[in-house]
Amino acid sequence: MEREIIGASAIALVAVIASLIYLSNRSVRKAQESALPEPSRPTQLTDGIAAFYVSTVFADSPLKRVWAWGLGGRGKALVTVEHDGVSIERQGELGLFISRDALTGVSRASATIDKGVEKDGLIALLWRLGSEELATHLRIVSRSQRQEFENEIREHFGVEIG
């Protein structure tokens, strides 16, 4: 009987901790949503470069993930550089459109909040959402597709990738 009580207590403790994490995350998301405007959404993409959406963080606080408006989750994506901005269509999540006017820079990175890769393996799109500057990190595994994406960024926006 003692083992069953200890087991039930451990399961209850895990459930309480999971609930606290969920409530804390929901609280952060709601606070961020009240401070940040909702980002633009892309039109449905049928063609694009295969990528992984890794994270969106505050540019001045790179260890602080943006949870607002569904930007917190990682996953597969299609990215397209258009004349008026960059479209990121995420699998299973809401997509994101970063307009040409909002884009402030593009750089390469090796790590973000919870992901580390080889040198310059991530592309960081620096952009403004309301009054906040954010950094959205993408991972394009294929070297040729990464080069194609970077060339399109240079072509369309005249931005050098640093």
**What digits encode the pLDDT tens for the residues 12-47?**
999 999 999 999 888 988 998 899 999 988 876 668
Sign of CA dihedral 60, 43, 110, 152: negative
Residue 159 has pLDDT above 80, yes or no: no
pLDDT digits (tens, 9 = 90+) for 77-101: 999 998 889 999 998 888 899 999 9
- Average pLDDT along the chain: 90
Report the chain's C-alpha Rg in angstroms: 19
Query: Which residues are within 8 A (CB) of 116 and not within 5 positions of it... i.e. 6 or more apart?
Result: 110
| ∠ Cα 120 142 49 (to 5°) | 105
pLDDT at 112: 87
User: Is residue 66 exposed (0-12), middle (13-18) or buried (19+ Cβ within 10 Å)?
Assistant: buried
Using a pLDDT cut of 70, give the percent of the chain over it. 98
Strands (E), 17-155: 49-58, 61-65, 75-82, 85-90, 96-99, 103-109, 111-112, 115-116, 122-129, 132-139
**pTM of the prediction?**
0.84
Region of residue 130 (left: phi > 0; alpha: psi -120 to 50; beta: else): left
